[in-house]
Structure 1
Amino acid sequence: MLRLTILTCFLFVALSAAVNPNWYKNAVVYQIYPRSFKDSNGDGIGDLNGITSKLEHVADIGADAFWLSPIYKSPQVDFGYDISNFTDIDPTYGTLADFDRLVAKAKSLGLKVIMDFVPNHSSHEHPWFKNSIKKIKPYDEYYVWRNAKYVNGKRQPPNNWLSNFQGSAWEWNNDRKQYYLHQFAAGQPDLNYRNPAVREEMKNVLTFWMNRGVSGFRIDAINHMFEDSQFRDEPSANRPDIPKNDYDSLVHIYTKDLNETYDVLKTWRKLMDDHSAHTNTDPKMILTEAYASHELTVKYYNSGSTVPFNFMFITDAHNSSSAMDFKGMIDRWMKAVPEGKVANWVVGNHDNHRVASRFGRHRADEITMIAMILPGIAVIYNGDEIGMEDRNFTYAETVDPAGCNSGPARYYLRSRDPERTPYQWDNTTSAGFSSNNKTWLPVHSNYKTLNLKHQKAEYYSHYQVFKSLRSIKRQSVIERGELKVEVYDKRILSISRVLGNDTVIVMTNRSNKPAAVNISSRNVPPLLIVYAASIGSNLRPGTLALTNSLLVPKESSVLFTSLNIYWSDHEN
């Protein structure tokens, strides 16, 4: 009996030791847009088996986890964000068995799988919605239904709310004789989170995927989940420069950022924590997408989010931002992160122009370099590690509903197609993405020279820079080092991390003139070494530099380290 007790205790301790509660604190999360990552069957659309076949690349660049944009069963009105079954895979992407193989392969490579969770709405093809139309209980109140208003005998929507995809957020259903709310496409009816049954359904969805080995969720459009219970009209934004049916023509005080959202997130956090405790697995990651004010975004930390997406490099920074602008943005975020939580830095995603297009080809590595050196989690969009660029689309080529609904004169302001083109693996047919010459979105014409295979063979490339950055991010000085953000000569942004005798400094020249910076009085070693430099800077790794005259070429970023870090890393 004593021996059995000792053995039981030993197994418990061994299992407990296998759990890593801090796995995410210095992580790189790599977003995969499944339709555009890798096509395994030649239909021109990416799929799960294609992703599985390329997971070695995800591991090779040093990602800790990858987040999959939606792969659920869907009529693809919004390319997967309109879900007709939250617990099944769309045949376009594969099967549940394919998903299980993907998870198993990821685990064998030390990668965690993060699913996209889309709670705000379902597809109009979902059985819940079809039953709700017929007022079949309990589904009759699963969605947001309202009676029409009648003005001079003419039927009108209940209020002035607008869809993110333009036009009224209300759609008339002739069977039910009511309007339903859709904050996105008409094929994406909003779920009613004031209904406890809906909240329970979505908990069951989360549990289903956790039971299949998922390590967390990126929660889509979380701040749209609740609406004003009185359904009041939203005020005008007083924007004469945009059409009255444009989403930005109103101030969205009644359809976004309601306090109830944070309360629901807390229940999901508890659900995931309980699941981790019950299964003795690492903590589940929650990434929340909310294009909201700084204060409302940070508030998600204390409601259970691991990563309330910090979009400042997408929404606030731009190519004309000064070094002082960058310092202000970084300082503001670091001061706002609650004690015990970790910062995060989003380089790019599937909804915004690529970093190489936002900041220019010559600055493609700049934001990644900053994100990797700053404390916390870096979120990278597939293709940014090789400097992929937006492809320009005509209106006739546009398939994104956000662009199509905006019309020929404004489609380019809304369309997300430019950043969603297929991944450029090599210079063969369709950039190695597919064996089919015709792909769901056209491949960028620059794939012959801008592709992963070509960059792997080059001495210095975006890919090589990215690998160097991930390697340095694993160093203790980045995990635990002191952070200092400074500006020199109004042009040079300097971000330093120091731990004992180890020093890492990234310097970004925001001007079009080269600069020499003297930091010899900053308690750093007298001699540093170039660890990485942005493409086109004319500096190469291994170059020695005196701290009294650090050269930063124009419009470039350079990562310097103390010699002991450089040599120890390159010996490994």
Structure 2
Amino acid sequence: MMYFIFAFLLIFSIILTGKSSNLVNYENNLIVNHNNILENGNIKHSDGIRNQDKGKNTKSEWWKNGIIYQIYPRSFKDTTGNGLGDLRGVIEKIPYLKYLGIDTVWLNPIHPSAGIDSGYDIIDYRNIDELFGSMDDYDELIEQLHNNGIKILLDFVPNHTSDQHEWFVKSVQNIEPYSDYYVWVDAKYVNGTRQVPNNWISIMKNSMWEWNEQRQQYYLHQFYKEQPDLNYKNPLVQKEIKDVMRFWLDKGVDGFRIDAFGCLYERQDLKDAPSIPKIPEKQQRIGYTKCLDESYDEIKSWRVVLDEYKKINSETKIMTVEIYGDMDLLKKCFGNTTHPGAHFVLNFCLGGLAHHPAKSFVHNLNESLFKSTPGAWPSWVIGNHDIGHPTTTFGEEMIDGIHMVQLLLPGTPVVYMGDELGMTNTYLRNDQSPNDINNIFLRERGRTPFQWDSTAQAGFSNKTITWLPVNPNYVTRNVEYEKSATKSHLKIFKALVNLRKLEVFCTGNVEFYEVSKYVFAFSRSNSILRSYFVILNLGSEIEIINLRKIKRLLPYKMKVRISSLNAEQYTGEIIRTDSFTLRPNAALVLESSFF
């Protein structure tokens, strides 16, 4: 019966067009999804991302199909005239979020903070920093977002607090029950000289230990000394953190992005970490102060809290975790079938492939998609508040193509605000970077104000001097300009967001191709009637492309659905797949359709 239907469709297409090439095209599309094989050295998976992730289950989970948009509140929109973004600024710009078509907002920390680490040194987990507004402003924000069909994730910082937090102040004074809320250790003495307990080095390149004169002990800090680490060996600390999660869940938050979860536990024997030349310090910390098994167990216990709320109203509350490391470390975050962990992990592999050859793209994306824990859901991060804007990393000519990869692969894209415009990092002098001491990480170069229009301060604020300088390229790199342009990064981004809503990008198969040394491609398909092919020139030279050489059953002609800003092809153009040119860093989304 099935073959009869196929034959009827074939004859019908020939009658309609009178061209025998349609028979070839239809046959090509008919066979393209068959067999799970390795074809011509290209990764091919015809089961889609995972069998259990296809169909109804995938469509029902909002966090799988949607796009997460990261907002750094300090730099999004200032409504008070103090040069600093605020919650009412986010409320004001909800129409823009709707225009973009994003589904979820992730807010960087908005809690009261001492300002040492841009909000990641929290003084009070259950309140709003007055710099951003009030709890009433937060309540209105969450109500307005939900009324517009947008979820909200809060940045959650469970590893450490500010040294001004009430818990730490009382811990210094040895006031119960806070005495052991932090990691306190006695000093070592050598020939009567006080020394730190061991050789552990913080992320800030100094000792992890800070002496407290009042308590006469050292406390542990894996980040700044003003950010003491909580002691997760203390059950009371575990309970406190879960209670904080429940506080915000009760206020309607849809989930959390967990900061620095891998730092929660450290070796109890305080053994010195090895000093290995040419091995990054962060790798040397693994098994000593990073990624201990107990940290993963803590994620599982937090998942239990989230699932409690799902049982109440059948709405999934999610948790995504930040971790930098190899695939084995990422896998453990997902837990197992009986004790699930994170819903997904923030995957930075794509952001690390700038200027790499196509082979690296094929290998790394295949690792992320098909060699992770069964049932694990992928995500794609190419920029954020720490690593900056990907346009700076990849270059303006390539950013559209990288967005094609990020938005059209299976998984959840996490987009940093301004990346849709092609915003770039801004040069800052040391005196212009108040929260990035001595520009150690150059992080604040990617945190400058959002560029709304070409007026003074890019429409971000009416104050002459903002908390960070606006990038000088704001005159043409802004929302207003790009919305009115015939073609722009913003319009290409929006077109990709709309395209991604098609069923094929939710449940379709994916194949990766090394077209040439510097040309990477992948395809998405889930039926014999329509498929998509994304191709990106990663190199610095014009490439003559013959896609049928690497995929014999591809149609002879395909339509350009979306083209990058620097591509010579235009949207709607029909091209021959066996002979076309692709400019350096240019990218195309090609569409094949039987009808």
What's the TM-score once normalised by structure 1's chain length?
A: 0.90
**Which residue matches 1:488?**
515
Q: Does 1:287 align with 2:323?
A: no
Distance in 2 (CA, whole Å) between partners of 1:519 and 1:364 is 22
Instruction: Say if 2:388 and 2:447, in contact at 8 Å, map to a contact too.
Output: no
**Which residue matches 1:312?**
349
Cα deviation for residue 250 of structure 1 reads 5.2
Cα deviation for residue 271 of structure 1 reads 0.7
Q: Does 1:260 align with 2:287?
A: no
Question: Which runs of structure 2 are paired with 1:503-518 in the superposition (5 Å)?
Answer: 503-518=531-546
Match for residue 502 of structure 1 among 488, 511, 530: 530
SS in 2 for 1:507: strand
Question: Which runs of structure 2 are paired with 1:50-449 in the superposition (5 Å)?
Answer: 50-239=89-278, 251-278=285-312, 280-302=313-335, 303-314=340-351, 316-319=352-355, 321-401=356-436, 403-404=437-438, 411=439, 414-449=441-476
**Which residue matches 1:477?**
504
Instruction: Say if 1:239 and 1:249, in contact at 8 Å, map to a contact too.
Output: no
1:160 maps to a residue whose letter is N
Instruction: Say if 1:38 and 1:434, in contact at 8 Å, map to a contact too.
Output: yes
Cα deviation for residue 564 of structure 1 reads 7.3
**Alpha-carbon deviations, 1:352-410, whole Å to 9, x = none?**
03101111121122221101111011110001000000111222323234x42xxxxxx
**Alpha-carbon deviations, 1:31-67, whole Å to 9, x = none?**
0011111111010111100011112212211111010
SS in 2 for 1:73: coil
Q: Does 1:561 align with 2:553?
A: no
CA separation of 1:133/1:268 partners in 2, compared to 1, >3 Å: closer, same or farther? Answer: same
Instruction: Say if 1:44 and 1:440, in contact at 8 Å, map to a contact too.
Output: yes
1:514 maps to a residue whose letter is I
Structure 1 runs of 4+ with >4 Å offset: 246-252
Q: Does 1:35 align with 2:112?
A: no
Cα deviation for residue 429 of structure 1 reads 1.7
Cα deviation for residue 552 of structure 1 reads 2.2
1:533 maps to a residue whose letter is S
Instruction: Say if 1:362 and 1:555, in contact at 8 Å, map to a contact too.
Output: yes
SS in 1 for 2:137: helix
Cα deviation for residue 538 of structure 1 reads 2.6
SS in 1 for 2:521: strand
SS in 2 for 1:503: strand
Cα deviation for residue 550 of structure 1 reads 4.1
CA separation of 1:21/1:195 partners in 2, compared to 1, >3 Å: closer, same or farther? Answer: farther
2:573 maps to a residue whose letter is T
2:447 maps to a residue whose letter is R
Distance in 2 (CA, whole Å) between partners of 1:21 and 1:497 is 21
Instruction: Say if 1:157 and 1:170, in contact at 8 Å, map to a contact too.
Output: yes
What's the TM-score once normalised by structure 2's chain length?
A: 0.86
* Structure 1 residue runs without a partner (length 5+): 1-16, 241-245, 405-410, 566-572
Instruction: Say if 1:484 and 1:495, in contact at 8 Å, map to a contact too.
Output: yes
Distance in 2 (CA, whole Å) between partners of 1:430 and 1:484 is 44
2:441 maps to a residue whose letter is R
Greater CA drift, 339-348 or 174-183: 339-348
CA-atom RMSD in angstroms: 1.9
SS in 2 for 1:558: strand
**Alpha-carbon deviations, 1:330-357, whole Å to 9, x = none?**
1111122333332111121110031011
Instruction: Say if 1:237 and 1:249, in contact at 8 Å, map to a contact too.
Output: no
Cα deviation for residue 532 of structure 1 reads 1.5
Distance in 1 (CA, whole Å) between partners of 2:494 and 2:424 is 19
Distance in 1 (CA, whole Å) between partners of 2:217 and 2:375 is 48
Instruction: Say if 1:234 and 1:252, in contact at 8 Å, map to a contact too.
Output: no
**Which residue matches 2:556?**
526
Distance in 2 (CA, whole Å) between partners of 1:327 and 1:20 is 27
**Alpha-carbon deviations, 1:262-300, whole Å to 9, x = none?**
11110110110111112x142112110011222111221
Instruction: Say if 1:83 and 1:126, in contact at 8 Å, map to a contact too.
Output: yes
Instruction: Say if 2:401 and 2:585, in contact at 8 Å, map to a contact too.
Output: no
Greater CA drift, 304-313 or 220-229: 304-313
Cα deviation for residue 522 of structure 1 reads 4.0
**Which residue matches 1:407?**
none
Distance in 1 (CA, whole Å) between partners of 2:389 and 2:342 is 25
SS in 2 for 1:484: strand
Greater CA drift, 100-109 or 229-238: 229-238
Distance in 2 (CA, whole Å) between partners of 1:68 and 1:101 is 15
Greater CA drift, 164-173 or 515-524: 515-524
Distance in 2 (CA, whole Å) between partners of 1:522 and 1:301 is 38
Instruction: Say if 1:468 and 1:531, in contact at 8 Å, map to a contact too.
Output: no
Cα deviation for residue 71 of structure 1 reads 0.2
1:272 maps to a residue whose letter is L
Distance in 1 (CA, whole Å) between partners of 2:86 and 2:431 is 26
**Alpha-carbon deviations, 1:502-543, whole Å to 9, x = none?**
111110112222223333454344332112122222322111
Distance in 1 (CA, whole Å) between partners of 2:116 and 2:180 is 23
Distance in 2 (CA, whole Å) between partners of 1:489 and 1:150 is 62
**Which residue matches 1:5?**
none
Distance in 2 (CA, whole Å) between partners of 1:238 and 1:110 is 51
Distance in 2 (CA, whole Å) between partners of 1:252 and 1:485 is 32
**Which residue matches 1:3?**
none
Cα deviation for residue 162 of structure 1 reads 1.5
1:115 maps to a residue whose letter is L
**Which residue matches 2:483?**
456
Instruction: Say if 1:257 and 1:292, in contact at 8 Å, map to a contact too.
Output: no
Aligned length: 532
1:332 maps to a residue whose letter is E
Cα deviation for residue 548 of structure 1 reads 2.3
Distance in 2 (CA, whole Å) between partners of 1:362 and 1:390 is 15
Cα deviation for residue 249 of structure 1 reads 9.8
Instruction: Say if 1:143 and 1:180, in contact at 8 Å, map to a contact too.
Output: yes
**Which residue matches 1:12?**
none
1:511 maps to a residue whose letter is G
Greater CA drift, 514-523 or 189-198: 514-523
**Which residue matches 2:578?**
548
1:530 maps to a residue whose letter is V
